[in-house]
């Protein structure tokens, strides 16, 4: 493919930004990829492994002359970053992000950006439980969805250009209203993560089951269901604080469903349980048929020996 952006600045060098850099360089989608991370250790690692073309010491330096700026930092840090980079943005540049919450990002970032740049919030629905500059890989976004949530009047050509980049990664793109995005993700991502964290906490608090037993005897259910509980705690803290209304709404509905199942189990209502599990299994099969997962053992995932779970 041909170059879409002459210079791309990545603010944050974790899993998503690292995978973007590797995908852009593999497909020749960017002339130069410049990277910045707040941690000196992360910057040193990124430079050591050649994650980007150039690592710089400040976010302001990273965005200078960039045609595309990607904010790949926790949602809670985006306002501060936006304020820092705003005076240094190139006129006509596009600013996007990869945060899991969109309305809060728009509120935090939008007011700081000058009128002569294009702000197109985004969210790639891809990831692993791993984080850090060594965790990325170029194929992360293939056949995954990348949602864009532009608000108000945004230049159509700028949106189309960003969509071309995303498709260059092998991803599918769709535009969505920010508030609707946050509700959808509360169902498909945020609440499941919260439940996974909770299940690990429950296992930790039941003293009749030791930590050693939980680890040693983790069957497929506990092991695979709680895989996402190894995800970055800072990111997920910010997600729940910034999307609390939608998460609390879905969590309330989950609690109601749980009460119904509790009653069915207590009353020995086998038909209800069978019907419920049949309906939910059909949804799971739909996810596989849509190409968003596989029925293979371990969900088709292979451990990455060089990845970190920090």
Q: Rounded to an integer, what distance in angstroms lies between the CA atom of residue 245 and that of residue 305?
A: 38
Query: Are residues 260 and 124 part of one domain?
Result: no
Query: Are residues 254 and 194 part of one domain?
Result: yes
Query: Are residues 234 and 111 part of one domain?
Result: no
Query: Are residues 96 and 208 part of one domain?
Result: no
Query: Are residues 138 and 264 part of one domain?
Result: no
Query: Are residues 167 and 40 part of one domain?
Result: yes
Closest to 100 measured CA to CA, from 189, 187, 14: 189
Examine residue 264 and state whether it is found in any structural domain, yes or no: yes
Last residue of a domain, one of 143, 176, 209: 176
In the prediction, which pLDDT does 286 show? Answer: 64
Examine residue 81 and state whether it is found in any structural domain, yes or no: yes
In the prediction, which pLDDT does 281 show? Answer: 75
Greatest alpha-carbon pair distance for the chain in Å reads 67
Closest to 205 measured CA to CA, from 214, 192, 196: 214
In the prediction, which pLDDT does 91 show? Answer: 97
Q: How distant, in Å, are the alpha carbons of 191, 201, 226 from that of 198?
A: 10, 5, 9
Residues 97, 102, 107, 111, CA torsion sign? positive
Q: Rounded to an integer, what distance in angstroms lies between the CA atom of residue 134 and that of residue 53?
A: 15
DSSP state of 39: -
In the prediction, which pLDDT does 241 show? Answer: 87
Query: Are residues 185 and 161 part of one domain?
Result: no
Examine residue 146 and state whether it is found in any structural domain, yes or no: yes
Examine residue 306 and state whether it is found in any structural domain, yes or no: no
Task: Pull the structure tokens for residue 187.
Answer: 């169902």
Query: Are residues 195 and 59 part of one domain?
Result: no
pTM across the whole model: 0.77
In the prediction, which pLDDT does 307 show? Answer: 33
In the prediction, which pLDDT does 306 show? Answer: 35
Query: Are residues 225 and 202 part of one domain?
Result: yes
Examine residue 31 and state whether it is found in any structural domain, yes or no: yes
- The partner residues of 36 in beta bridges, in order of sequence, read 11
Domain that holds residue 141: 5-176
Last residue of a domain, one of 176, 203, 236: 176
Strand-strand pairing, 172-175 and 145-148: parallel
Examine residue 43 and state whether it is found in any structural domain, yes or no: yes
Examine residue 282 and state whether it is found in any structural domain, yes or no: no
In the prediction, which pLDDT does 206 show? Answer: 65
In the prediction, which pLDDT does 3 show? Answer: 96
Query: Are residues 73 and 114 part of one domain?
Result: yes
Number of domains in the chain: 2
Task: Pull the structure tokens for residue 117.
Answer: 């740049």
Examine residue 286 and state whether it is found in any structural domain, yes or no: no
CATH code, domain with 14: 3.40.50.720
In the prediction, which pLDDT does 161 show? Answer: 98
Query: Are residues 186 and 158 part of one domain?
Result: no
In the prediction, which pLDDT does 302 show? Answer: 46
Query: Are residues 149 and 45 part of one domain?
Result: yes
In the prediction, which pLDDT does 305 show? Answer: 36
CATH code, domain with 253: 1.10.3660.10
The 3-class secondary structure across 86-98, one letter per residue, is HHHCCCCCEEEEC
Q: Can you give the pLDDT of all 310 residues of the chain as single tens digits? A: 799 999 999 999 999 999 999 999 999 999 999 999 999 999 999 999 999 999 999 999 999 999 999 999 998 899 999 999 999 999 999 999 999 999 999 999 999 999 999 999 999 998 777 889 999 999 999 999 999 999 989 999 999 999 999 999 999 999 999 999 999 998 888 888 788 777 777 666 665 555 666 556 555 566 666 676 677 788 888 888 888 898 888 888 888 988 888 998 999 999 888 988 888 777 666 655 666 655 554 444 444 433 333 2
């Amino acid at each position: 493919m041909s170059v879409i952006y002459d210079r791309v600045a990545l603010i944050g060098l974790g899993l998503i930004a690292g995978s973007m850099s590797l995908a852009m360089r593999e497909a020749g989608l960017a002339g130069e990829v410049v990277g910045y991370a707040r941690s000196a250790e992360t910057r040193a690692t990124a430079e050591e492994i050649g994650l980007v073309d150039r690592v710089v010491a400040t976010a302001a330096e990273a965005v200078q002359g960039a045609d595309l700026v990607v904010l790949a930092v926790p949602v809670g840090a985006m306002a501060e970053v936006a304020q820092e980079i705003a005076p240094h943005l190139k006129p006509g540049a596009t600013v996007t992000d990869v945060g899991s919450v969109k309305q809060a990002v728009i509120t935090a970032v939008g007011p700081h950006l000058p009128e002569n740049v294009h702000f197109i919030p985004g969210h790639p629905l891809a990831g692993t439980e791993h984080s850090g500059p060594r965790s990325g890989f170029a194929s992360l976004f293939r056949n995954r969805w990348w949602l864009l949530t532009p608000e108000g009047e945004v230049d159509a050509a700028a949106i189309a250009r960003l969509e071309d980049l995303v498709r260059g990664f092998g991803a599918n793109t769709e535009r969505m209203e920010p508030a609707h995005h946050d509700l959808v993700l509360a169902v498909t991502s945020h609440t499941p993560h919260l439940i996974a964290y909770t299940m690990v906490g429950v296992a930790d608090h039941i003293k009749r089951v030791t930590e050693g037993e939980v680890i040693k005897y983790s069957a497929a259910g506990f092991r695979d269901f709680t895989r996402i509980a190894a995800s970055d705690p800072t990111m997920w803290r910010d997600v729940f604080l910034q999307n609390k209304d939608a998460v609390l709404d879905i969590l309330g509905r989950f609690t109601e469903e749980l009460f119904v199942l509790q009653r069915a189990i207590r009353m020995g209502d086998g038909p209800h349980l069978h019907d419920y599990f049949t309906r939910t299994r059909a949804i799971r099969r739909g996810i596989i048929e849509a190409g968003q997962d596989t029925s293979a053992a371990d969900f088709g995932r292979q451990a990455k020996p060089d990845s970190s779970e920090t």
